[in-house]
Amino acid sequence: MLKTYVCAACEKVILTADNVASLISLFNKIIITAPPEAEVPKNAVAPKEWAIFSIFDTEPGDELKEYTHFAQILYPDQSQFSEIAKSKLRIELNKRAQVNVQVPAFPIGQVGNYTVRVWIEENQRTVVGPIEFKIELEIIRQVHKAP
Amino acid sequence: MRYRCPVCMYSQLPYPPHDYHICPCCSTEFGNDDANFSYKQLREMWIAGGANWFFGRAPEGWNPWMQLLKAGLSAYVPRLVLDLRVQSNVIVKPGGIIYSGPEFIVRPAA
């Protein structure tokens, strides 16, 4: 059975040739500055790459199973942002399984706490998770400067 | 087999983008609309019109900007943000050192 070892959001994941991961800038809050009167539409995004990175401990026998990893991002009102990222987990005997979900932008349509939800299914049955953590979004309005 | 719309980059077209098929996302009718306008022009028109989903209900969580970003078309995404920075709520008390052991212990400086 898989066990969660790491599940976090970070700005960048650097992988060596043999897949050793370094996580750069783990975060749980995003602060954006927007023009004073600009309306931020509900579906707006800030193009900024980030990642949801997970590692799972395995045990003998897991390499024979078909696991699927899911990652979902929810707005503060719990509606879903973008589609659920779904990927097959490739497991090798006596090795940890790691998944790097790269996200090309951060949603900015609602201020508050976004939820990142990760889980693993085997035969459409959840076997790990859901693991959840929050990322807070704060919007600061740029202050008018006197001429 | 799924196909990608060359206009809005929706990647789940059930048919190839020709033979008068219509993209459910951006409404481009292939063989008709793209006879008069380039894909780029059609994309710009779709975005100028609000980049809305055209036919029926959009897939859950569908976002036009993520669709374009995933296709490498970041230039079309509206820039609403002047600055963006990330933070972590990890706190180390001034002068404190975090030791890793059975538990994390914060020890004040002597």
- Select from B73, B80, B89 the residue whose CB has the most chain A CBs within 10 Å, as the one to mutate to test that interface: B80
Q: What is the pLDDT of residue A40?
A: 87
Model pLDDT for residues B63-73, shown as the tens digit of each residue: 999 999 999 99
Write out residues 51-90 of B within 8 Å (CB-CB) of A.
Answer: 59-66, 69-70, 74, 77-89
Q: Is the pLDDT of residue B80 over 50?
A: yes
* B101 band by pLDDT with thresholds 50, 70 and 90: very low
A105 contacts on B by Cβ (under 8 Å): 65-66, 69, 77
For residue A16, how far is the Cα from the chain centroid? Answer: 21
- Cβ atoms of A21 and A15 within 8 Å: the answer is yes
pLDDT, residue A133, reads: 94
Whether residues A105 and B84 touch (CB distance < 8 A) is answered with: no
Q: Give the least confident one: A26-35, B81-90, B100-109.
A: B100-109
Is the per-residue pLDDT at B108 higher than 70?
no
| CA dist., res. A52 & res. A50, Å (int) | 7
What is the structure's pLDDT at B91? Answer: 58
Look at residue B1 and tell me whether its pLDDT is greater than 80: yes
pLDDT less than 50: residues of chain A: none
Summarised one tens digit per residue, pLDDT across range A43-68 is 999 998 999 999 999 999 888 899 99
The ipTM, to two decimals, is: 0.83
Q: What's the mean pLDDT when you consider all of chain B?
A: 85
Output the pLDDT for position B102.
46
d(CA B101, CA B1): 53
Mean pLDDT of the B54-67 span: 94
Picking from B35, B65, B61, the residue whose alpha carbon sits closest to that of residue A75 is B61
Task: Report the pLDDT value the prediction gives residue A52, as an integer from 0 to 100.
Answer: 95
Mean pLDDT of B33-50: 94
- Across A16-147, the runs of DSSP E, i.e. the strands, are 21-26, 29-34, 45-46, 50-57, 67-74, 80-89, 97-103, 106-107, 112-122, 125-141
Confidence bin at B98 (pLDDT 50/70/90): low
Out of A36-40, A125-129, B95-99, B103-107, give the one with best mean pLDDT: A125-129
Percent of chain B with pLDDT over 90: 65
Does residue B109 have a pLDDT over 50? yes
